[in-house]
Amino acid sequence: MFDLFRSQKQAVRLMLGAILMLVAVSMVITLVPGLFSGTSVNLNDQVLVEVDGEPVTIQDVNARLRDYQMTGQIPPESMVFLAAQTVENLITEEVLLREAERLGLMPTEAELAERIRTQLNFVFEQGGLPAYQAFVQQRFQRSVPEFEEAVLRDLVIQMRLKRMVTDNVLVSDEEMKRAYKQTNDRVQIEYVKVPAQSFRSEIQPDQAKIQEFYEQNKSRYMTQETRSVKALRVGVPEIAAPEVSDVELRDFYDRNLNRYQVDERVRASHIILMTMGKSEAEVKQVEAQANEVLQKVKAGGDFAELAKQYSEDPGNKDKGGDLGWVVRGQMVPAFEQATFALQPGQISDVVKTEYGYHIIKVHERDTAHMQSFDEVKDQIRQEIGQEKQQLERMRKMDEAVAVARKFGADVDAAGRELGLPVEIYEAFTRFNLPAGLPTTPNLISEIFSASEGEVLSEVAEDATLLLVVTAIQPARAPELDEVRDRATEEWILRQAGELARQRAQEIADAARAAGGNIKEAAAQYGLTTQMSEFVSRNDSIGDIGRAQLLGEAAFTKEPGTIAGPVTGGSDQTIYRVAAHQEADLTQFYEQRDKLHDQQVQAKRDEAYEIYKALARQRYEDAGKVTRYQPRIDALLQSLGQRRG
């Protein structure tokens, strides 16, 4: 509904910008001591880097890698690069947090908690702190402190600091035209592809060279460390709903009277015609159209049907413009003033806000009042009952966990004592976890740093999970004989690729010698050319792939120019620029507003990257970044990779 409800929508966007519940669950930031100190969840981890005294730890890196893994499978051969890059990214984040603190951009616990709580307190009303903790662990696979620190970082770094740095960035019409041409200029090429597979039969395996290739690329063949664990899931059955006395109900009501104060409110609908991003002349046209719609309403037109036809609010136009119940302080001033001036059944004149022209109808009105005890008694009974029920479940669970802990690492005996099955998870890697095992970064980090026989615990849904590491198989580099087939295949493909590159270069040289006749040059080697359609940089060309792979020469060199070889996997391509097709600037003006937004965002991102790089360099130069390189190298090796 745009930003009529400015604080509600703004809160959602500020925290994560997409998932309402992701914002909602950060409401207990004030309940986690030390969150704003920057070290609340990492004090016991091995420090890899210190940034102005703040640590970047093994657990920080493992948690971030786990997040990456949850978004898709990470190839083992990419892990060393990704882990090393993660360390660098975390260093930069710490620098930016220190910068935000220096600039006075860090919120206090009270500020951040209050901002969230005023709009999203329904999360706690639905189940209190236990429900919040369970939701974070289940939905986001993180502990509460890890999750809340991530939310804080996102707010401070991506919103407050970035906005301060980039809000004044502007884009000129000339820059937009250049960007439009960059996207929409098109080229046609004549090309010949030299496939590496055509040279495969020419390659004879050379065991000495394969051995050398293997030694140079041994990290690609590393096996990942595996762990085996046994687990006992200690929970309790459902607890019967407890009794709640009338005395408890009345006492709760008297202590929380502010919760039952209903503010003055109205139920309203609106029709909006947008003016954002429009020229002065276009705004006048919108105003005229709004007045025409108002006349149709006043002439007896059905407000809801007219909203469906004319309103430009995608959030409620299909509902006839219905805004539901609103209270003072939720809406922008001009809209609020007009809405609360109306009585039920009345319709406003055209109202101007920063978003456009509105026509408002009020359906119902409620005066401010206090809900009586009888009105809310059942609601209070349910709330107190749920809290009592949860406390009793937690008490019984604690008792069961205490019994299990008496058996230490002997989870089989603990399972027999409690009548619970033992869960067995065999030989899994850090990034290929078995189904059923909780995947919070904190737990996985603990499992892969624990000693054999060490007992761990994790809260999982309505249970506590007790785990014992039963076996450890360290990462190792296999002997060549174990991976000889794979290494031989990769060596052959590399040699074939080099022969393809040499052949492509010969074709390019022959084509240039023949005055740009690529067809004749290709024919000398028994190959044929193909002619592409006109393509932009973002389009694909047949079996080559994205046109961006051709490089800028394709879009900037004169027709007849021979370019390449261009590498695509192991294959090679030579091409001739056949023709250019200039971007149609008449369409530029139709897309100008959209392009402006895109270019502003791109320019802001670029400005922010420059700011980040300069800030990082200042800290490096000032000696505020201390690396413990042996620890970093050890971490990379534990992930199944060896640097270099």
Q: How confident is the model at residue 1 (pLDDT cuts 50, 70, 90)?
A: very low
Could you tell me how far CA 172 lies from the centroid of its own chain?
31
Q: Are 357 and 200 in contact (CB under 8 A)?
A: no
Q: Are 361 and 373 in contact (CB under 8 A)?
A: no
Please give the average per-residue pLDDT across 199-215, as a whole number.
93
Tell me: the pLDDT tens digits for 126-144?
Answer: 555 555 565 565 555 566 6
Q: Are 192 and 524 in contact (CB under 8 A)?
A: no
Strands 562-568 and 571-581: antiparallel
Residue type for 124, please? F
- 245, HSE (Cβ side, Cα atoms, 13 Å): 3
583 pLDDT above the threshold of 60:
yes
| Percent of all residues in the chain with a pLDDT value above 70, rounded to a whole number | 84
Q: What is the three-class DSSP state of 463?
A: strand
Comparing C-alpha atoms, which of 536, 509, 537 is closest to residue 521? 509
Query: Mutual orientation of helices 58-70 and 79-102 as an angle, nearest 10°?
Result: 110
| Sign, CA torsion 51/55/58/60 | negative
Beta strand segments in 108-209, E: 186-194
Radius of gyration, CA atoms only, the chain: 32
492 pLDDT above the threshold of 90:
yes
* Structural domains of the chain, with CATH: 8-172+596-638 (1.10.4030), 186-221+481-581 (no CATH), 226-236+394-473 (3.10.50), 264-367 (3.10.50.40)
Tell me: the pLDDT tens digits for 241-261?
Answer: 788 898 988 998 888 888 888
357 pLDDT above the threshold of 80:
yes
More confident site: 10 or 179: 179
How many angstroms separate the CA atoms of 139 and 416, rounded? 32
460 pLDDT above the threshold of 80:
no
Q: Are 244 and 385 in contact (CB under 8 A)?
A: yes
Which two structure tokens, joined as six digits, stand for 636?
């990379």
Comparing C-alpha atoms, which of 513, 542, 50, 456 is closest to residue 229? 456
Q: Which residues contact 4 (CB under 8 A, 6 or more apart)?
A: 270, 323, 330, 331, 332, 335, 353, 355
* Threshold 0.85, pTM exceeds: no
How many angstroms separate the CA atoms of 79 and 539, rounded? 30
